[in-house]
Amino acid sequence: MQTYHNTVRGKQTEANEHQEICNPATGITLGLAPINSELDVDLAVDAARQAQKAWASTSDQERREAVARVAQVLEENSGYLAGLITQEQGKPLSGPGSRFEMQACVGWTQVPSALELPPEVVYEDDKRKDVLYRFPLGVVAAIAPWNWPLMIAIWQIIPAIRMGNTVVLKPSEYTPIATLEMVRLISQVLPPGVLNTVSGDGRIGAALTSHPDIDKIMFTGSESTGRRIVEASSQNLAPITLELGGNDAAIIMPGTETSAIVEDLFWGAFLNAGQTCACIKRLYVHENDYDSVVAALSDFACQVPIGDGMDESNLIGPLQNTMQHNKVKELIADARANGCDVIEFGDIPETGYFLPLTLVGNIRDGHRLVDEEQFGPALPIIRYRSLDEAIGSANRLSAALGASVWANSLEEAELVASKLEAGTVWINQHGAIHPMVPFGGNKASGYGVEFGIEGLKAVTQPRVISIKK
C-alpha cells in the first residue's frame, strides 16, 4: 500500500501517523495519507515564512514565468492526477468530471500567469502625486475542500504565489492524496518553501488558521467551519477570503422553452452528483410549466449512467463520504415522509456511496430539502404563481452564493436577475465560472472574491506612496 507525503521546503516529509483513504465507489483503499501534529504546522509555516521575502523580491516577470511552468506541469500530469481524483473523490473521468477538473486547474493557472497588476496613479496635480502599489501579504493559509480538491486548491495557491506570497495548504482529510501529489509535482518548479502542505482534520486546520505567522486565510467549505475560522483569525488578525457554499435558487420564467435549457439545467443541478457549492439546489417553476419541466428533466436523467468513475461510460459518481451520503438520504426521507413526490432515476451499484438521481416535487419552502443545502443528487422543484413570489422565495435564505434565471427573453431575465441576492446571478446557465470573472458569495455564503484582477488584489496589501512635488 502506497504512503503519500506532505511537501515542506520542497522535500517530502515523514509523519508519525497515517490514515487510510478509500475509493468512495468501491471501498478499496487508495493509500495512506499523513496525519500531522501542531509541531508539523509550525515547521511548515516557518518554511513558508523563511522563503517569502526572497520570493517576493523576485521580479513580477519571474513569478509569472514560474506560474506558467506550474501550468505546464499540471498539463503534463493531468492524466495521472485525474485518475487519483476519481479514485479518491469519486467524480468520473468522463464528462464534467476529473479530467474536466484538471483542465480547470491548468486554465486557472495560465490566466493569473498572464495578468498584470501595475502601480496605479490614483491622484496627481501640480503639487502632489499619489501612487497605489500592491505588495504581497506574506504567508497564506489555504484550506481546500473535498468536492473539487485540486481545482479549488489551485484557486487558492496560484494567485497567492503569483503576487509574491508563500503558501501552506491543508487539503481536506477526506481527499488529501491527489492534492498532496499535485503539490509534490508543482513544487519541483518552484523555489523550496514557496508551497508547503500539512494534512489532518479540523484540529490541524485550526492550528494553521490561528497561527501567529499567518498573514492571510483562504477557505472554502461549510458555514460552521467558516465561523470557527473567523474566530481563530482573531489570534493573527489575518484577512480572510471565505467561500461558504450556498443553497442556489434557479427560477424558470413563465413560458420558457424547456427543450432549449434542459441539458444545462440538469448539469447545473447534478454536476459532481450535486456536490458543488454553486449548483442549483432549489428550482422554482411556474405552475403552468411545472409538468413539462419535470418531464423534460426526467427524460434527461434516465439517460445519464451512474457508477464507478473509472468506467468511462459513467457520468455520475458516488457521494464522497458516508457523512454526506447519510445526510442526503435523510433529507430525501424527510421529504418522502412529508408527502412530497420523490422520483428516482438510474441503476446504482450495490457497493459505494451511490444515490440515484432524484427529483422531488410537491414540495414547498420550509421543507428541509429546500431550506438546507443538500450537496447531493436530489433536486427539489417548487411551483410558483408569480415572479415576485419566486424572487421572494429565492431570497429568503441566508445562503447567497449563486442564483440563475432561465428565460426566452434576456431583457426580462436581466430584470429578474437584478432582484436576486447572490454573489453571481447567471442567465440561461448556472455555475458558469471563468478565471477572469470575480467570484464570491453574499450574506452567509462568505465574503471576498477570487479570480481575475480582483482575485489578485485579494492576496495583496495596498500601499500608497504620496509624493510632494
Domains 6-244+445-468 and 248-434 agree in fold: no
In the block, cell 476529473 appears at 98
Per-residue pLDDT reduced to its tens digit, 115-134:
999 999 999 999 999 999 99
- Domain 6-244+445-468 has what CATH class? alpha beta
HEC profile of 182-196? HHHHHHHHCCCCCEE
**What is the average per-residue pLDDT within 35-53?**
98
Gap between the Cα atoms of 112 and 110, Å rounded: 6
Does the annotation count 243 as an active-site position?
Answer: yes
Could you tell me the residue ranges of all domains in the chain?
A: 6-244+445-468, 248-434
Name the class of domain 248-434. Answer: alpha beta
CA distance 394 to 308: 34
Query: Within 10 Å of residue 65's Cβ, how many Cβ atoms?
Result: 13
Mean pLDDT, rounded, for 161-165 = 98
CA distance 419 to 428: 16
Angle at 359 between CA 355 and CA 360, to 5 degrees: 110
Judged by DSSP in three states, 82 sits in helix
- Please say whether the beta carbons of 219 and 349 come within 8 A: no
For position 35, what pLDDT does the model report? 98
Phi-psi label, residue 457: left if phi above 0, alpha if psi -120 to 50, beta otherwise: alpha
Q: Is the pTM of this model over 0.85?
A: yes
Q: Under a CB-based contact definition with an 8 Å cutoff, are residues 132 and 462 in contact? A: yes
Q: Which of 113, 173, 175 is nearest to 150 (CA)?
A: 175
Write out the DSSP string of 407-448. -S-HHHHHHHHTT--SSEEEES-SS---TTS-B--EETTEE-
Give me 445's grid cell. 455564503
Options 101, 243, 421, 450, the catalytic residue: 243
pLDDT digits (tens, 9 = 90+) for 59-94: 999 999 999 999 999 999 999 999 999 999 999 999
Strands (E), 73-127: 120-124
Question: For 300-317, what is the mean pLDDT?
Answer: 97
Percent residues over pLDDT 90 in the chain: 99
